[in-house]
Amino acid sequence: MNITSPVLTPASVSCNECPIKHRAVCAYCEKSEMAKLEGMKSYKTYPAGSPIIFAGDQMKFVGSVVTGVARLSQTMEDGRRQMVGLLLPSDFVGRPGRTYATFDVEATTDVTLCRFDRKPFEKLLIDIPHLRERMLEMALDELDAAREWMLLLGRKTAREKIASLLTIIARRQNVVQTSEKYAVVHFDINLTREAMSEYLGLTLETVSRQINALKKDNLIELEKKRHVVVKDFARLLAETGDDEDGGFLD
C-alpha cells in the first residue's frame, strides 16, 4: 500500500546489508554470533491488512520487523479494540518464554519480518549474552513507552491525544531532529482514522473532527488526508499536554 522498498528476496539478504541491523535485537552481536542468527533466520512478507498472529494462538516464531508497520492490539468480546503498540522497523514481535500469544499482531502496511523459530531462538537468548542484553534494553524501552501511553489514554483530551500521536509519528520517522524543532516538518500517517482511534482510545469520528480542528487552528495542513505538514512543530508540541521537550530525556 505504501513505499515498501523493493521487495527483499528472502533468503538472499545478508545481515550485513540489513536495514535494521543497528537497532534490532541483534544489534549488539558480534560476527560469530551473527553467523548463528544468519543460519536460522527466514524472511516472510505479510500483505497490508493481514494478520500475523492471533491472540491465543500458539507462537511458533518470534522476529523483527524489517520493513513496514504492524500493530499490536487487544479485542474485547463485544468488539471494542485497543491498540497497545505500534511496531516499526527494528521492533520485536513475540515474547520469548511464552507459548501462547497474548495480543493480536496485524500488518498495517506490507510488513516483512525476519523470523526465527521460537524454541531455537530461546536457546540463543541463553547462549548469546549480547542478544539478551539488547532484548532487555528493548523491553525496558517499550515498557516506558507503554507507560507514557497510559498517561495519554487515562488523562489526555481528544485534542491532546491527536497532537501526541502526530508528534510521535513524526519523531519515529526521524523527520524531527531535536535541533530543528521549530522547523516545518512533514510526514505520512500510515494509519487509517480507524486505526488511529484504536490507538488513542477514541472513535474514528472524534479523530476526524479533532484532526480537522487542528487544521482549522492552523497547526497542521493536510494533503490527501494522510500526509501532514506541520508548520511550527513547537506549537504542535504545546498541544500535547506534555511538558517542554516531553520525552527527549536521556
Restricted to residues 142-181, the positions that interact with DNA (CB under 7 A) are 157-159
Partner whose binding site includes residue 231, from DNA, a second copy, none (CB under 5 to 8 Å by kind): none
Quote helix, strand, coil % in the chain, to nearest 5: 40, 20, 40
Interface pick for DNA out of 45, 204, 231, 246 (rule CB under 7 A): 204
Is residue 186 close enough to count as binding DNA by CB under 7 A? no
Beta-bridged to residue 233, according to DSSP, are none
Tell me which of 82, 203, 232, 241 binds DNA, using CB under 7 A.
Answer: 203
**60 Cβ contact partners less than 8 Å away, ≥ 6 residues apart:** 117, 118
Binding mask 109-148 for a second copy (x = CB under 8 A): -----------------x--x--xx-xxx-xx-xxx-xxx
Q: Any contact of residue 72 with a second copy (CB under 8 A)?
A: yes
Residue 82 binds DNA, judged by CB under 7 A? no
C-alpha cell at 232: 511550527
Is 80 among the residues that bind a second copy (CB under 8 A)? yes
Stretch that binds a second copy, among 112-120, 164-172, 185-193, 238-246 (CB under 8 A): 238-246
Phi/psi of residue 100, nearest 5 degrees: -115, 145
Angle at 48 between CA 206 and CA 145, to 5 degrees: 55
Site for a second copy in 145-164 (CB under 8 A): 146-151, 153-155
Nearest distance from C-beta of residue 223 to a second copy, angstroms = 29
From residue 163, alpha-carbon distances to 35, 200, 210, 225 in Å are 43, 11, 9, 16
Sole window of 68-76, 112-120, 171-179, 188-196 interacting with a second copy (rule: CB under 8 A) = 68-76
Distance separating alpha carbons of residues 117 and 119, to the nearest angstrom = 6
The least CB distance from residue 119 to DNA, in Å, is 36
Angle at which helix 118-127 crosses helix 129-155, to 10 degrees, equals: 110
For 218-232, give the secondary structure using H, E and C.
CCEEEECCCEEEECC
Binding residues for a second copy, rule: CB under 8 A, are 72, 74, 76-78, 80-82, 84-85, 95-100, 102-103, 126, 129, 132-133, 135-137, 139-140, 142-144, 146-151, 153-155, 200-201, 241-243, 249-250
